Amino acid sequence: MSSHIFSYFNILGGLALFLYGVEKTTAAFGSSFGAASKDLMVRFTRKKPMAFLFGVVLAAIAQGSTVATSFAIGFVDVGMLSFAGSVVVMIGASVGGTFVTFLLSLDIAVISPLLFAVSLFLVRYGRGKAYRLGTILQGLSLLLLGMFILKLGVQPLLATQGFAALAAHAGENGLLTGIAAFVVTAILQNSSAVMALAVTLATSGAMPVAAVLPVILGSHVGSSVTTLIAGMSGKQNARKLGICSFVYKVLCLPLYIPVFPWFENYIFNGPGGLASKIVLAQVGVALYNAVVFYPFTETLARFSAAIAERTGRERLAAPVYLDEDLLEIPSMAILLLSKEMIRLANYIEMYCQVLFVSAPNGDKTFQELPGAIRELSEACEEYMYGIHIPSDDDVLRENYSTVSYSMVSFRQMAKILSGELRLLAEAGVGGQLARELGKTTWDELTRVAMTDIRLALRAFALADVDFAAVAGKYEREFEELDRRIRLRLGADALNRRELAPLVDFLSQIFLLVKTSLEIARGEAYREGTAR
């Protein structure tokens, strides 16, 4: 009995090590994806066949379809890939994800200690590409070692009656077996682990051959649950692709009815060993699905987008572009952060536009935007701190430095807009200042202030140093206007206590403009370093 418990421990430990190896391989591959590689991949995915091949290759290298899907979402978010193109990448990734099972069928787990030794040497003593290769090999070695331990755990259980009865039942009821594979895949969030267990059980004789195909189909559909759950996080593109992945793999089930007997006959009577037949059957299932839906990717994209629109819309403050899965891919993470900061800049400009209206209290936008600006700026800052830049990539370090410089100013603007300035505006101080100054002076103040803010934000959004230069010219005009207004108010402020809030309001506007100009200076700094 104790030996059986030890076997179960080996099975659980082997699965855990296998999953950790897949995760480590994925993360290592992601961190190795630099700016130059990103540009190559962007060019690679412009055409539909190449986008499909990209999904296949990327999923095969990264030991799963999750990375390829994350890339697809990231490319859509930064405008480098259409949503229909991301669907093609996702379809290709479903085929490439079967490569892990192919590795397992080769029975090369015995070399995992040697592979780990090589990876450890590269990680400890390697630099740059050698180090990154070492981290990828380290994850791969752990994956193979997990498979080896899994096999060690299964072998002693083959002789037990309970295990044999359970395995026999799996062969008798294909529907329940498929559902079980679906559930386990959804729980483990990895179809490769389920297929690894299936290969081990089938090749050792513990699982009937008749149960193999239901397991393949169940794990194939179950692998979409991870993307679906992740897509429900609120990000529009992630939600659309998550729904698309689920719909794509669920719709495949009735399509298999005409070809099911052919697949089953091949597994039973086809040439080659059982392990190779399982691999080819899994590849066949994924490839069959891909071939059927490949001509209809545009239709599938529109259908999924329509469902996503009905499932809910993002809160105003919810990040649209920030993807936690891409934090380990710094080039993509910086692009997504910049995209989200541009969205934040649009919010700030909108709010400032409403703010300088005399009586904005009843405006719904005025009520919602300050909180959204604060929350979104906090999310951007947190995401920025989560990006890990390789020490040997000067380009990425420079891009990150520029973004972080601007982020400081964005956070300060968010604090101003959601803090004292908002309270003063809600109390109607802006209207009082407008009446005190008169329409001509107030219009001039708001015009110059908005021009400065708009130009500074556009300088960041478009990465245009010319906008930054023009904003600098308007800065001097604003400073002169601010000085004249303060002199005018100061002359009466000693005798009129009600003017103190007006001076405070003006000071907040002054601080807001000056902070926005720091963003423009960040663009000027980027232009200077580029030269």
Confidence of residue 307 (pLDDT cuts 50, 70, 90): confident
Residues whose CB is less than 8 angstroms from the CB of residue 198 and which lie 6 or more positions away in sequence, other chains included: 181, 207, 212, 215, 216, 219, 278
Domains and CATH numbers, the chain: 2-310 (no CATH), 325-530 (1.20.58.220)
| pLDDT (0 to 100) of residue 498 | 64
**What does R_g of the chain's alpha carbons equal in angstroms?**
29
Burial of 149 (0-12, 13-18, 19+ CB in 10 A): buried
Structure confidence by residue, pLDDT tens digits, 220-235: 888 777 667 666 655 6
As a whole number, mean pLDDT of residues 250-266 equals 79
Kindly tell me if the per-residue pLDDT of 296 is higher than 50.
yes
Kindly tell me if the per-residue pLDDT of 251 is higher than 50.
yes
| pLDDT (0 to 100) of residue 326 | 73
Structure confidence by residue, pLDDT tens digits, 103-144: 766 666 667 778 788 888 888 877 777 777 788 788 778 877
Long-range contacts of 5-8 (CB under 8 A, 24+ apart): 6/156, 7/153, 7/154, 7/155, 7/156, 7/157, 8/153, 8/157
Confidence of residue 357 (pLDDT cuts 50, 70, 90): low
Q: How far apart are the first and last CA of the chain?
A: 73
Helices first, then strands: H and E counts in the chain: 25, 0
Query: Is pTM, for the whole model, over 0.85?
Result: no
Report the percent of the chain where pLDDT is more than 70. 73
Mean pLDDT for the chain overall: 75
Kindly tell me if the per-residue pLDDT of 270 is higher than 80.
no
Structure confidence by residue, pLDDT tens digits, 421-457: 878 877 777 778 888 888 888 888 888 888 888 888 8
Q: How far is CA 247 from CA 123, 295, 303, in A?
A: 41, 16, 9
Kindly tell me if the per-residue pLDDT of 363 is higher than 60.
no
Can you say how many angstroms the Cα of residue 437 is from the centroid of all Cα atoms in its chain? 49
Residue 336 to residue 317: CA distance in whole angstroms: 16
